[in-house]
Chain A
């Protein structure tokens, strides 16, 4: 006759095989079968850096703490999971061998007292964290969860809760029955056990088995559920962080060569590494919370984008594997990825500000698939009229204003003696001025001041005059890769003929692409500086001296392409300090800076259905500070955007927008 323990072993084995089988099958489908459809990725180098990343960002849960309390909660759930996984292992092995030894303990681990204590403590911490998480999801319900699969999240939290509770009950009852040699190390379990201490031994055995089966059952159910939806990140988080992109943030990956097609129109045209990102999304919504497009009421949410891409990948993978005669296959193919699943307005809404990529605890890249899909739209000519005009002008005249190249240096006319022509004579600093600073009639006085400041500092500088073209940063981000290449060719050609030591730019967008995306000039890569960095250097070395202390109370807006993308936060602040101004920081500053809304080519597009312009939201934030009267920026497009926003929000009497150079100029 079969004893209970023999049955137990058989059932555990069966459960393990079924659950394990389902789990492995699903993982195979998702990771291997689907990812195999994707394009090549890599090569992956710098393994030291990568492994360090896993330690800091996975083990250390580093980015999670950016939202402090939920981050701390997740830290405990994560570590609890790791530490308590050994108890799961114990439970499984124990079950499998129970026909021979019902009280089997794992070697070493089973007798490690300190581990037992840690497990007990973490069980409680996890329960507390889970209760907190449930409160957040069910009662607080913050906006970042809008669109996330809340019921799935709640279910998994309930699973975890049950797993922990059943573990404590099982342990507690076992202690009551005297079956635990490490019972002194399990104070919590002991306390839980006391609840049942009144029951008879036989009853407690039954409770123990019920707790055991609950524990194992929920664990195995969770295992099968894991690959579905957002909890798959449990499996993919380590590879995602390990294989994260180590290129400079400001370097967009080149377009994959898809037999002549540029840009992505169906999900299998993404690189498999991008597909891994789609699976890794935990639907936490932190990206959505920091996205300026989402905040302004546009249809883009980086989180929802990832979820849609993930769902589409599953659908498409299944469809491609099924026979073509299957009617569901037709239906999937009728819904195009670009257009139906992800609408064009979602794709055009992105300002490429990098807040989402930076916020994501698992280094998911949201901008890269958006640009890939934009590349497809551009090739298809599915571009709005305003953007079309801007691109046509950039192609024909090298600037989005539609003005002749000969007018580029018109702003220099009043300057005597004339600014050096870098095409004709060697200079130390080649000043790449940029479109907005050259052509926009309202901005040229700032450009003139910049020249005056450079002169005062005794800099040997020159400009490219008519040979300069738009550097192409936003052209690339809009998806016009061919036009970007053409601009790079023209600018590189002009630069190669010049003799200079350093490039200095007025515009952070120009700065970003020249620094990160342009090929090296000849054999060496010469430094590229934003003028804030240059001014900082000049002030530190005493070449630029101020005659007065301005004494203004100012606030500073970190431009996306200077700050988040290239890490330049302190240089402009030192410059502000040097001019004798008092800096009052806005709540969203440094890497939390809130985009003005002009990037990603959006300054060339029609606004769309916007509820609150990002620039207006930012101005209101500055006004709320109360004391700051000057809003300092370090980008010509910011000057334009924020001056408009000050007007449209009616804050002309409270706030004045000034470029950093204007402060420096005034303090000379």
Chain B
């Protein structure tokens, strides 16, 4: 089973996000880029599938700051091949990224492509279904369980309220992972460092990044707090007393 996982790096929401002077993009000065949480789940799911049924796992990522650590960590978890795509990815949208991935994925001829169902900086759709469109493979998103059979896969697709649809999809296919079957495993720093010495990251070059299909942003701004809540201050005792008062007003006490 040849599994390919495509990942991207997104802004870390722990940091404060500001808009740069152009007014249409995020200020990158203090921006930390980390692996898209859902792509991390995709890696975990891919490794689980390999552990269960054998095969190989290849992880592909664009060459931006922090990508080496992401790839070596994937190797430490059990990924067999690491590929980074060189190119100027600053400000590049998902359509361009998907097209860049398409070239590499076609070369790898996978049975299954996994990626996170969404990312926090998606503005023109998500990489998964875009990639599926480019590769002309079927796509199912919001996946929380995958099992593989001959030429097809049975997946669990999540709907609201905890409802799950069991679907079958012919392979090769692209799946958008919502949650891996177990939380992403911990990898010791020494293991990652060991991978840095023993594994190699293959490189490919993106021949031009075609952003066609994405919108043009005319203004980007921080969300207004909107109608702010009435803030209660004071010691725990005082706040608790105020809350009891509110509960009484609302009729719950």
A–B proximity contact (CB within 8 A): yes
Q: Which residues of A contact B150 (CB under 8 A)?
A: none
The verdict on A406 contacting B15 (CB below 8 Å), with A381-B186, A392-B186 known, is yes
Q: CB < 8 Å: which of B14, B189, B194 contacts A397?
A: B14
Chain B interface extent, by class: 10 to 19
Q: Which residues of A contact B30 (CB under 8 A)?
A: 406
A197 at the interface (CB under 8 A from B): no
The number of chain A residues with a CB under 8 A from chain B is: 23
**CA of A385 to CA of B193, assembled, Å:** 22
A404 at the interface (CB under 8 A from B): yes
Q: Which residues of B contact A483 (CB under 8 A)?
A: 188-190
**CA of A385 to CA of B34, assembled, Å:** 20
Contact check, B14 vs A381: say whether CB atoms are below 8 A apart: no
Q: Which residues of B contact A241 (CB under 8 A)?
A: none
Q: CB < 8 Å: which of A260, A379, A397, A404 contacts B188?
A: A379
Tell me the total A-B contact number using a CB cutoff of 8 A: 45
Q: Which of A376-393 contact B (CB under 8 A)?
A: 378-379, 381, 383, 385, 388, 391-392
Write out, one digit per residue, whether chain A residues 250-268 have a CB within 8 A of any chain B CB (1) or not (0). Answer: 0000000000101000000
Contact check, B189 vs A385: say whether CB atoms are below 8 A apart: no
The verdict on A403 contacting B14 (CB below 8 Å), with A260-B194, A396-B34, A482-B193 known, is yes
Contact check, B190 vs A404: say whether CB atoms are below 8 A apart: no
Smallest CB gap from B198: residue in A: A260
Q: Which residues of A contact B15 (CB under 8 A)?
A: 404, 406
Q: Which residues of A contact B183 (CB under 8 A)?
A: 385
A480 at the interface (CB under 8 A from B): yes
**Most chain-B Cβ atoms within 10 A of its Cβ — which of A385, A402, A482, A483?**
A482
Q: Which residues of B contact A391 (CB under 8 A)?
A: 186
Q: Which residues of A contact B190 (CB under 8 A)?
A: 262, 379, 481-483, 485
Q: Which of A455-497 contact B (CB under 8 A)?
A: 480-483, 485-486
Q: Which of A402-460 contact B (CB under 8 A)?
A: 402-404, 406
Smallest CB gap from A255: residue in B: B190
Q: Which residues of B contact A404 (CB under 8 A)?
A: 14-16, 32
Q: Which residues of B contact A385 (CB under 8 A)?
A: 183
B242 at the interface (CB under 8 A from A): no
Contact check, A381 vs B34: say whether CB atoms are below 8 A apart: no
**CA of A312 to CA of B199, assembled, Å:** 37
Contact check, B188 vs A381: say whether CB atoms are below 8 A apart: yes
Contact check, B14 vs A402: say whether CB atoms are below 8 A apart: yes
**CA of A391 to CA of B190, assembled, Å:** 13
Q: Which residues of A contact B16 (CB under 8 A)?
A: 404, 406
A113 at the interface (CB under 8 A from B): no
A71 at the interface (CB under 8 A from B): no
A217 at the interface (CB under 8 A from B): no
Please give 5 more A-B residue pairs, beta carbons under 8 A apart, in addition to A381-B186, A482-B191, A483-B190.
Answer: A392-B186, A403-B14, A406-B15, A480-B189, A482-B190
Q: Could you show 7 A-B contacts with beta carbons less than 8 Å apart?
A: A262-B188, A379-B191, A404-B16, A406-B15, A406-B30, A482-B188, A483-B189
Residues of A that sit less than 8 Å from B by CB: 260, 262, 378-379, 381, 383, 385, 388, 391-392, 395-397, 402-404, 406, 480-483, 485-486
